[in-house]
Amino acid sequence: VHSFRLPGIYGPGRSAFDALRAGTAKRVVKPGLAFSRIHVDDIVQVLRASMARPDPGAVYNVCDDAPAASADVTAHAAALLGVEAPPEIPFEDAALSPMARSFYADNKRVRNDRIKAELGVALRYPTYREGLAAILAEENGD
């Protein structure tokens, strides 16, 4: 049995593009706060690598190389779409549900050294920038 710790998962149909297109995207800013994330294709890659190299009891952080603020991810997605990013909203002023507010309580940064060293994984999307670009290219049929 392996355990996999997953941060924010994104991919086709589940990315910052969807919120931007729906008009629901927010750019809540809390200085110093960053979150790890992972593209769904890289999750698959890690799972396959773990099956090829079983290590019973192993626990793996499955994330990309670049924890980032959600506001930065949204701004980058907007730039890729060629639309204006939503305005930044200071965390203190954001109208958030208690659950959403708890999401911003502390950093959600994890390291992926073990998936690289033990499983030999080379991420297809090492940061959200490559992942978002690939999603958009797929949507555009590129």
pLDDT of 1 over the 90 cut: no
- Residues found in the chain: 142
The mean pLDDT value of the chain amounts to: 95
- Which pLDDT score is estimated for 106? 83
pLDDT at residue 142 is higher than 80: no
CB distance 38 to 64 below 8 Å: yes
**Residue 27: pLDDT above 90?**
yes
Q: The domain spanning residue 10 has which CATH number?
A: 3.40.50.720
pLDDT band at 59 (very low <50, low <70, confident <90, very high): very high
E strand spans, 3-132? 3-5, 8-10, 27-29, 37-39, 59-61, 88-90
Residue 26 confidence class, pLDDT cut points 50, 70, 90: very high
Domain range holding 74? Answer: 3-139
- State how many domains the chain has: 1
Mean per-residue pLDDT, 107-131: 95
The pLDDT of residue 141 is above 80 = yes
Distance CA(28)–CA(44), nearest Å, equals 30
Q: Please compute the mean of the pLDDT values over residues 76-87 and round it to a whole number.
A: 97
* pTM of structure: 0.92
